[in-house]
RNA sequence: GGGUGCUUAGCUCAGCGGUAGAGCACUUCCUUCACACGGAAGGGGCCACAGGUUCGAUCCCUGUAGCACCCACCA
């Protein structure tokens, strides 16, 4: 006997371990069609957040669905070494010990990161298991830790080196001194994508650079003649003037045209620079003349190259003024230098203006520090050719984005792609497989031995830099399957079927995977990319730690007390000033903490909210509603078990043959509805409309099976006919058993728990629901007649109940229902006794005319029905008048439509017919209501 | 400066050329032997705004406004 209500913690315990131990998650090396999903590998350092939980719910639902459909599924999972993120975490730990990574040295530091990875790297995999992810943990796992692959594993690293060497040999990787985005705190280059612009109000300073040969004639904006002391430039970063190579003006700018080629004095510095002409200058902006700082500005870099200007570097790698700057500024941080430069300019009368200015400041995505364009030696991947191919495969439809509009985002980026800076000046990551000899010659090789061989024995030094983390992540779709080896897995599981991921990594990861897989395997990495919504809080706000509106999926599953939640929300805060705000938020939003909804309810919520919308506002109230749904399912099962266990369910058993069964229109109806929900589920999965899958099953189970079928089954179980009882029991268990299988991909735990008990009664054998066939719709079982009859019964029931309610008849009081006609169904007797039971009637009495009474009357189809209970005629008259008004409105609307000749002529015949039928029915209804009203009035 | 998406019931969201839907919340009644994490009956919406196309628009088109996100080297 099941407990009275479902307790997620109790049932969710144990199943996962049993499934995993039994090896149900592994792929099978057989010839069945394959279905493969690659998990976007989470950072080893990370913990599961709502985005992960959402994404993984969808992936697991797809995997479970396909597994049940008999496909050879392989959910490839793993984790990412996450170069910068991980290094920062371990460096913070060292900081607490008062040390830096340099105190340890590279080798010891990397050792320490590995140690930390082993200790805490399993957090997220544990959380995924709690969520029920039926992932293939053992697959591609080189460490034997059942956590999937790790991007720094020997196996995965081998593919990284191979790719680097091949790209280098093909001339697609090159090394060069280029201007790159530099994070002065981390001391490394970062890619364009890792830089986020942030609007800031800064200052636009105007500075005059005097002409070497004295003031010059020119014209002002208004055309009047003026004398120019020098070129006035505008800048937001005055400290970079120390590295200026020229002043540029537009070649057609009448004010400055004649001054091109003149020399100006660079203030504060002991040198002069030329005035050059360049079309990049916008004469309308600022003063129309621009300082050119080739080594410290991306825009100016191009101009400096065009005009062959010297590239002067004035910053050290930690953004302090170096020896190339004037003595008084040397060693100053860039912002201190800015102040000092401005002060001296002002003192020496070079500063002619300073205005507030809104601008976009580039900041490092990791540290939030303003990046400095820095001229350094870096490795790059040439993107042009691969990008073109990446565009082509999407254009040809070999890779499809869902929703489709993301294709535009993808295309736009690839059409404007820049070469990719892949070297990072970090210690944690794949070290670049390049060696240098004493003369600076480069040897790129798969291993040190190979490099030595190539160098002919010259002493070699390895490049200290590591690769951008995405360089290895992009290979995952094939490196996880054994590439560069030629494996059966590659043959079977590449391309994978769908990638489920967030739109934030379309550039970082999705595009690069497509390009890399195409380049190295000739195949696309996946056929479809489902871009899932971004999870926000219920008010649509971005979840962030500093707002306190983050939710931990595990807290939703297991519940959390208000005290623990408060403590957790404010733990490890960087800034103390957030504390008060967070406490306020948490206290007001979760005064009672969070109840334990269970993994199934959380998963169901995610599925229900998985529309094609760009954001998903996670609403705890909906989560609660779906927890209630789980309870409903639990109790429906409880009812079914109570009525079927140990009884004859009309199912063939091992020791007996099935006895004859009789099926009523109600039995046939629910079986018919089942076919429709099965079709809806299949369609939903095919379209990635998980919300539709969830909604279809929800309403079937609750609104149809529980509300109607179970209620009517109670009646049928009291039948004197054993065959009717058998038929009812058989339908009860079979429909329930099928519903459990339908639901399993979304709510794996509760369905497994219940299936174990229900399946034997339905004549099903099997160790687990996981491997049972997913229900498929059988259109031949759709019974239109039964559905029509049931719809009528429901209509009659609703009308009768409404009469009860309107007349305020207490639930205990049973009355006769007078009806001028019987429901137009095939099994009238069965329908009438059903009606009697559902509407709690004493009976149904057929009459020619309704009794002369003030009792409320309703119109159902051809019949008028009445519960014989005298009520205040005035109230009843009012009720009927309201109803008449409603029907009147209806009639007016349809009449107007039909009176329009062009509607009747041009609308499809079917639509016109429908309107006419509606009009006829409404008019009939109106007539009966008016009769009734008149009668009521006559009584007064 | 470009681009994308959104605007439907109090809240979170479906829908989509032909009588406006769900969950939660709300009102009234009910502890009836699966379930009060429940049952029954209700209330609630000029489908952002303005034009256009159409017999007919919440839905298609064009604008406007608001919100969100992405891209972009304007000093």
C-alpha separations of A531 from A51, A501, A537, A613, A860 in Å: 12, 5, 19, 10, 48
Q: What is the distance in angstroms measured between the alpha-carbon CA of A606 and the sugar C1' of B43? A: 30
Mean pLDDT for chain A overall: 89
Query: Based on the number of CB atoms within 10 Å of its own CB, is A571 exposed (0-12), middle (13-18) or buried (19 or more)?
Result: exposed
How many C-alpha atoms does A844 have within 13 Å on its Cβ side? 25
pLDDT per residue as tens digits for the range A758-805: 999 988 889 999 999 999 999 999 999 999 999 999 999 999 999 888
% of residues, chain A, pLDDT over 90: 45
Backbone angles phi, psi at A180, to 5 degrees: -130, 165
What pLDDT does A74 receive?
95
- The neighbour count for residue A820, using CB atoms within 10 Å, is 18
pLDDT per residue as tens digits for the range A678-734: 999 999 999 999 999 999 999 999 999 999 999 999 999 998 888 899 999 999 999
Three-class DSSP labels, A186-210:
CCEEECHHHEEEEEEEEEEEEEEEE
* Integer Rg of chain A from CA: 37
With a 7 Å cutoff on the CB, does A910 touch strand B? no
What pLDDT does A782 receive?
92
User: Protein footprint on strand B: which nucleotides are under 7 Å from a CB?
Assistant: 3-6, 11-15, 18-19, 22-25, 29-30, 32, 34-42, 54-56, 67-75
What pLDDT does A2 receive?
81
Using an 8 Å Cβ cutoff, are A630 and A600 in contact?
yes
Name the band, by pLDDT with cuts 50, 70 and 90, for residue A576: low
Q: What is the distance in angstroms measured between the alpha-carbon CA of A744 and the sugar C1' of B66? A: 42
DSSP letter string over A254-299?
A: TTTGGGTT-EEEETTTTEEEEEEE-TT--TTSTTSEEEE-TTS-HH
What pLDDT does A918 receive?
85
What pLDDT does A96 receive?
87
Q: What is the distance in angstroms measured between the alpha-carbon CA of A177 and the sugar C1' of B74? A: 25
Name the band, by pLDDT with cuts 50, 70 and 90, for residue A430: very high
pTM tops 0.90, yes or no = yes
Q: What is the distance in angstroms measured between the alpha-carbon CA of A310 and the sugar C1' of B74? A: 23
What pLDDT does A772 receive?
96
pLDDT per residue as tens digits for the range A310-320: 888 999 998 88
Q: What is the distance in angstroms measured between the alpha-carbon CA of A625 and the sugar C1' of B8? A: 22
pLDDT tops 80 at residue A676:
yes
With a 7 Å cutoff on the CB, does A237 touch strand B? yes
What pLDDT does A6 receive?
86
Name the band, by pLDDT with cuts 50, 70 and 90, for residue A815: confident
pLDDT per residue as tens digits for the range A579-595: 888 888 888 888 888 89
Name the band, by pLDDT with cuts 50, 70 and 90, for residue A19: very high
Three-class DSSP labels, A622-634:
HHHHHHHHHHHHH
Q: Name the most confidently modeled range: A80-84, A394-398, A891-895.
A: A394-398
pLDDT tops 60 at residue A936:
yes
Helix and strand numbers (H, E) in chain A are 32, 31
Residue A460 CA to residue A653 CA, distance in Å, equals: 77
pLDDT per residue as tens digits for the range A346-375: 898 998 888 888 888 888 888 888 999 999
Using an 8 Å Cβ cutoff, are A693 and A607 in contact?
yes
Q: Which two tokens stand for residue A899?
A: 């009176």
Q: What is the distance in angstroms measured between the alpha-carbon CA of A609 and the sugar C1' of B12? A: 9
pLDDT per residue as tens digits for the range A179-234: 999 999 888 998 888 888 888 888 889 999 998 888 888 887 677 888 888 888 98
What pLDDT does A905 receive?
86
Which nucleotide is closest to the Cα of A537 by its C1'? B12
Which residues of A in 668-707 have their CB below 7 Å from strand B's atoms? 691-692, 695, 698-699, 702-703, 706-707
Q: What is the distance in angstroms measured between the alpha-carbon CA of A889 and the sugar C1' of B54? A: 24
Lowest mean pLDDT among A556-565, A654-663, A736-745, A925-934: A654-663
Backbone angles phi, psi at A488, to 5 degrees: -65, -35
Q: Which residue is nearest to nucleotide B3 (CA to C1')?
A: A409
What pLDDT does A917 receive?
86
What pLDDT does A939 receive?
66
Which residues of A in 394-433 have their CB below 7 Å from strand B's atoms? 405, 408-409, 412-413, 416
Name the band, by pLDDT with cuts 50, 70 and 90, for residue A654: low
**Whole-complex ipTM:** 0.94
What pLDDT does A655 receive?
56
Facing residues of A292 across strands? A246
């Amino acid at each position: 006997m099941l407990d009275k209500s479902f307790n997620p913690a109790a049932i969710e315990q144990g199943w996962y371990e049993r499934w995993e131990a039994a090896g149900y998650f592994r792929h099978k090396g057989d010839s069945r069609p394959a279905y493969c999903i690659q998990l976007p590998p989470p950072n080893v350092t990370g913990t599961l957040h709502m985005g992960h939980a959402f994404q993984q719910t969808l992936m697991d639902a797809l995997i479970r669905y396909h597994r049940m459909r008999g496909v050879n599924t392989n959910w490839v999972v793993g984790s990412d070494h996450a170069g910068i993120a991980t290094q920062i975490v371990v460096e913070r730990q060292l900081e607490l010990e008062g040390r830096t990574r340099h105190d340890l040295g590279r080798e010891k530091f990397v050792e320490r990161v590995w140690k930390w990875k082993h200790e805490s790297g399993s957090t997220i995999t544990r959380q995924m298991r709690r969520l029920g992810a039926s992932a293939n943990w053992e697959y591609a796992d080189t460490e034997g830790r059942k956590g999937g692959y790790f991007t720094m594993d020997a196996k995965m690293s081998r593919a990284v080196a191979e790719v680097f060497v091949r790209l280098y040999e093909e001339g697609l990787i090159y090394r060069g001194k280029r201007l790159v985005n530099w994070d002065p705190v981390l001391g490394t280059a970062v890619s364009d994508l890792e830089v986020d612009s942030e609007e800031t109000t800064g200052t636009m300073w105007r500075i005059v650079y005097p002409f070497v040969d004295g003031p010059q004639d020119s014209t002002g904006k208004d055309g009047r003649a003026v004398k120019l002391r020098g070129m006035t430039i505008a800048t937001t970063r005055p400290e970079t003037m120390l590295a200026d190579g020229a002043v540029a003006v537009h070649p057609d700018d009448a004010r400055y045209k004649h001054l091109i080629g003149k020399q100006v004095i660079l203030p504060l510095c002991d040198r002069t620079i030329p005035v050059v002409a360049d079309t990049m200058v916008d004469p309308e902006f600022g003063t129309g003349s621009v300082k050119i700082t080739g080594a410290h500005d991306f825009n100016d870099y191009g101009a400096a190259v065009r005009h062959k200007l010297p590239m002067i570097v004035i910053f050290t790698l930690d953004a302090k003024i170096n020896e190339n700057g004037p003595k008084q500024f040397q060693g100053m941080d860039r912002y201190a230098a800015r102040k000092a430069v401005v002060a001296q300019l002002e003192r020496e009368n070079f500063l002619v203006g300073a205005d507030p200015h809104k601008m976009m400041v580039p900041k490092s995505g990791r540290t939030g520090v303003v990046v400095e364009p820095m001229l350094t030696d870096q490795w790059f991947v040439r993107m042009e050719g691969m990008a073109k191919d990446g565009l082509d495969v999407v254009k040809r439809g070999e890779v499809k984005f869902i929703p489709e509009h993301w294709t535009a985002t993808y295309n736009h980026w690839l059409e404007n792609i820049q070469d990719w800076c892949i070297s990072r000046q970090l210690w944690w990551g794949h070290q670049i497989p390049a060696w240098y000899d004493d003369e600076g010659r480069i040897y790129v090789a798969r291993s040190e031995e190979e490099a030595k061989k190539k160098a002919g024995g010259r002493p070699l030094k390895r490049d200290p830099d590591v690769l951008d983390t995405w360089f290895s992540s992009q290979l995952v779709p094939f490196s996880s399957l054994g590439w560069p080896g030629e494996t059966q897995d590659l043959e079977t599981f590449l391309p994978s079927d769908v990638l489920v991921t967030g739109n934030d990594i379309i550039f970082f990861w999705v595009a690069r995977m497509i390009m890399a897989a195409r380049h190295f395997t000739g195949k696309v990495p996946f056929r479809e990319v489902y871009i899932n919504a971004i999870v926000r809080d219920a008010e649509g706000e971005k979840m962030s730690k500093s707002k306190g509106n983050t939710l931990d999926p595990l807290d939703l599953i297991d519940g959390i007390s208000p005290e623990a939640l408060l403590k957790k929300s404010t733990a490890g805060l960087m800034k103390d000033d957030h504390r008060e705000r967070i406490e306020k938020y948490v206290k007001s939003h979760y005064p009672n903490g969070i109840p334990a909804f269970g993994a199934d309810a959380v998963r169901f919520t995610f599925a229900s909210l998985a529309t094609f919308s760009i954001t998903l506002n996670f609403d705890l109230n909906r989560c609660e509603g779906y927890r209630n749904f789980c309870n409903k399912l639990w109790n429906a099962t409880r009812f079914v078990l109570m009525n079927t266990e140990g009884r004859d369910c009309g199912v063939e058993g091992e020791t007996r043959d099935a006895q004859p069964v009789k099926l009523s229109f109600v039995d046939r109806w629910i079986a018919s509805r089942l076919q429709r929900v099965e079709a809806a589920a299949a369609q939903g999965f095919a379209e990635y409309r998980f919300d539709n899958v969830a909604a279809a099953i929800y309403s079937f189970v609750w609104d149809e099976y529980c509300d109607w079928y179970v209620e009517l089954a109670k009646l049928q179980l009291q039948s004197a006919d054993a065959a009717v009882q058998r038929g009812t029991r058989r339908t009860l268990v079979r429909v329930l058993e099928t519903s459990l299988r339908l639901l399993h991909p979304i709510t794996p735990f509760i369905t497994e728990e219940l299936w174990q008990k229900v399946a034997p009664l339905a004549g099903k054998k099997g160790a687990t629901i996981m491997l049972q066939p997913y229900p498929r719709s059988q259109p031949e079982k759709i019974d239109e007649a039964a559905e029509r009859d049931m719809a009528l019964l429901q209509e009659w029931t609703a009308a009768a109940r409404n009469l009860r309610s309107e007349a305020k008849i207490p639930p205990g009081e049973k009355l006769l229902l007078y009806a001028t006609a019987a429901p137009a169904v095939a099994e009238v007797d069965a329908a009438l006794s059903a009606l009697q039971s559902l509407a709690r009637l004493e009976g149904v009495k057929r009459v020619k005319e309704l009794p002369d009474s003030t009792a409320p009357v309703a119109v159902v189809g051809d019949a008028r029905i009445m519960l014989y209970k005298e009520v205040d005629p005035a109230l009843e008259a009012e009720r009927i008048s309201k109803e008449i008004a409603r029907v009147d409105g209806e009639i007016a609307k349809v009449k107007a439509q039909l009176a329009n000749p062009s509607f009747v002529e041009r609308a499809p015949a079917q639509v016109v017919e429908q309107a006419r039928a509606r009009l006829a029915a409404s008019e009939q209804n109106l007539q009966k209501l008016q009769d009734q009203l008149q009668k009521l009035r006559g009584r007064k």
